[in-house]
Structures are given as structure tokens and as C-alpha cells.
Amino acid sequence: MNDAPLGLLFACLFVLIACSAFFSSSETGMMSLNRYRLKHLKNQKHAGADRSSELLETPDRLISLILIGNNLVNFTASAIVTLIGYRLAGDPGIAAATFIFTMVILVFAEITPKTIAAIHPEKIAFPASILLRPLMRLLHPFIWLINKFTNALVRLSGVDLNTDNEKLDTDELRTIVDEAGAHIPEQHQAMLLNILDLEQLRVDEIMIQDHDIFFLDLRSDDDALMQRILDCEFARVPVVDGELSNMLGILPLRLSPRFLANGQLDRDTMLSQLRDPYYIPESTPLHTQLLNFQKNQRRMALVVDEYGDIVGLVTLEDILEEIVGEFTSNLTSQDEEITAELDGSFIMSGNTSVRAVNKQLGWELPVHGPRTISGLLVEYLEAIPSANVAVRLENYVLEVVSTDDNVIQLVRGRQLS
């Protein structure tokens, strides 16, 4: 080598720098691959993904292979640089050549290839796997010996080599969906996030409150009862005897032709069509209740508290709306509970849920506490407020517009700029 022509030495040096760039970019590219996209491509029979997956099954061996190759070519290149520098200018030439070589390695064999690999990992890793896989098999005994020694040192430091870092918790999955951007349509993105949020919600947070439940009272006369049935917009309605606590059953109104004929109400036939009520605890998580509706083939449930008293009603549609959104196109204008005013404020009924206001108006009122706007005001004031009393909650102002029998009926809300 000492007698080799300078042209040959420079040619060897160029090849070694290229090899160093290959190993550097391969390391960054392989480690930067998206594991979930890699699995998807592998399932699609992508050859590059299949090779890369095989190599990444033993990342410690892959890193050892790349580092062995990188250090081998760098040390060899360093020796050639020393020889070139000495032959060109003696001892002073060695120092100059070493400095120049260091800069060349940093720019052309480290920073540039690693930057490209970090930005486009698949374009680097998949072709590189064509060479890395046979090199892995060729150097397997040497790599195995080095890994035995290094893994022993890792265990002595208290690190668990069997830790699975690929599992995602709910918050991490939510972040991935949030950052999906144009890869997932905005509507689908919102639905995925809503599904994840089901685990954090209970039925008592979305249920219809007991005082708002539409029901049929058998103590009403036939005309009033029949008119109430004809005016009903729901597919199923509870039937009671006097009050909600005396629940008799659930009436499917699609069967109304059987007990409504010729302008007459047949009570006996109507009672024969009742289905047994389906009761659920108020603390049931929404994702659990969704599965329970499917399992029990029910679409409506009565919510009871710890004493067994009915406190609300929830339907399958209520849960589905938490996922896909309301089944109306413009909630703020069509929902009777929230009405937009010309001055930018909103008029809402006191029993409107805090979650509904946040969801429909994009507000961030506190949800850990009272379920309704009325309850939120009462908790904050620690008293039943009279009309024209206003409360500021962070960046929002809620003003009591009207009350009736110590119950807040209407509230005006606005967001401060």
C-alpha cells in the first residue's frame, strides 16, 4: 500500500467514504421507519418492507452490523488519509489531511446522508436492505459474539431488553390521529377521536334528564293519550302509571296501527305491545353501553342511580351522535336549546348540558362537575340566582335571563374576545 499510486489511494478513499455514507444513512433510515406503515406495507407484500421488517426483528444485531461496517471503513479511510498526507507533505501533511478528512466525513458521510435518510427513510432503508440482509447473514457469527458481550453490559446497567416500545396508549393514539393531517379526512379524524373519547364518558353525561323524558301516562284520558302519541317524534316511548317511578314498559310506536284505528285508542292492545324496561347504572361508560346495546339488541335504556330511582334516559342514537356528531346540519340554529343572537351571544335553556354547549359552540366550560348550565351557575353562586345575575367563568360570561319556581329557565352566554 505504501507504494500504491496516489490515484489508486484517492479512488479507494472515495469508495470508503461512499461506504461510510451508506452505513450512516442506513442506520438513520432503518431506525426512522414508521413501524405501523412498515407492517402495512409488509402485509401488502412489499419486498423492501419485508426485508426491512426481517432486519428490524433484531435491532441490536442490525445496529451492530451497521456500526461494524461504518467503523471498519472509517478506520481504513483514516489510514489511507494518513498515508496520502505523509506522501504529499510529510508530517505536516498528516495533520492537514486529517483535518480535511474529518470535515469530508462529517459533511458527506454523516450529516448529509443522515439528514436525507431522516426525511425519506423508506427511500433509503428499503434499497439498503438489499445489501444489509446478506451482510447480516455473512457476519452473523461475529455479530452474535459482539451482541452477547454488549447485551450482558446492558443487563448489568438495569435495562430490560424485552421492553416493547411499540404499544400505544389512548393518548398516544389520539396524538397520531391529530397529526394525521391530510392523510385522514377531517370528518373521519373527528370520528376516530370521538371513539377514543367514549372511554372517558359515562351515560349520565349524555342522558336525557328525568324531567325532560317524554312519556305516556295511562292516567290521562283516551283523547289526550292518543294526541300525545300522534304528536310524538320518537320511535319508542316509556309508558307510566301516574309518574316516572311507576314504569310499565317501553312502547314501540311503529306498532301504533295495532292499537290506533278509526280514531280510537285500544288500551289493552297497547299494553300488550309493551316491552320490558331496560335499566342501566348511571356510571356505565359509554363504550361499555354501546356494546351492551348490541349484545341485548336494545336501543333505549332507562338510567338509574344507586337507589334504583330513574334519573334519565339514553338511546343508541345518543351514543352514536357522540361519534359521528349530531344528525342535524346546523346545531346552533336548529337546536331549540341554543339560539344564536345578533350581538354574538347565545340564548340557551338552563337544562342544556355543559358538554352540549362546549361541543356545539366550541367553548371550554368546565365539565367535571355539574352536568347542566343551570347546575354550573348554582354551584358557582352557591344559591338559586335571580334574573339578570351574570357570572364570569374564565373567558365566558353566563347571564341568567329568566327563572321559574327557583329553576333557571334561560341563560344568555357569550365568549369574551
Task: List CB contacts of 207: < 8 A, sequence separation 6 or more.
Answer: 282, 303, 311, 312, 313, 314, 318
User: For 21-67, what is each residue's pLDDT tens digit?
Assistant: 999 999 999 999 988 889 889 989 899 999 999 999 888 889 999 99
- pLDDT of 353 > 60? The answer is yes
Residue 248 is predicted with a pLDDT of 94
Q: 346 pLDDT exceeds 70? A: yes
For position 380, what pLDDT does the model report? 87
Q: Report the CATH architecture of 331-415.
A: 2-Layer Sandwich (3.30)
What is the domain partition of the chain in residue ranges?
Answer: 6-156, 170-199, 201-324, 331-415
Give the mean model confidence (pLDDT) for residues 368-376. Answer: 85
Query: 201-324 has which fold?
Result: CBS-domain (3.10.580)
Average pLDDT, the chain: 87
Model confidence at 77: pLDDT above 80: yes
CA angle 229, 234, 236 (to 5 degrees): 85
- Distances in Å between the Cα of 278 and the Cα atoms of 205, 240, 297, 308 are 18, 14, 11, 12
Q: Choose between 212 and 27: higher pLDDT.
A: 27
Of the given ranges (71-75, 105-109, 159-163, 364-368), which has the lowest mean pLDDT? 159-163
The pLDDT score that the predictor gives to residue 190 is 80
pLDDT of residue 332: 39
pLDDT at 4 exceeding the cut of 90: no
C-beta neighbour count of 274 within 10 angstroms? 16
Higher pLDDT, 168 or 74: 74
Q: Quote the pTM value.
A: 0.62
The pLDDT assigned to 165 comes to: 61
256-270, 294-308, 328-342: which has the minimum mean pLDDT?
328-342
Q: Give me the pLDDT at residue 334, please.
A: 40
Band of pLDDT at residue 335, cut at 50, 70 and 90: very low
pLDDT recorded at residue 362: 86
Q: What is the pLDDT of residue 394?
A: 85
- Give the mean pLDDT of 365-372: 83
Which amino acid, residue 123? K
Tell me the C-alpha distance between 136 and 63, whole Å: 10
Q: Write the pLDDT tens digit of every residue in 139-155.
A: 888 888 888 888 888 78
Burial annotation 343-372 (CB, 10 A radius, 16+ → b, else e): eeebebbbbbbbbbbebbbebebeeeebbb
pLDDT for 382 equals 83
**What is the rounded CA–CA span in Å between residue 165 and residue 143?**
24
Side chain identity, residue 147: N
pLDDT at res. 406: 80
Q: Mean pLDDT over residues 80-104, rounded?
A: 85
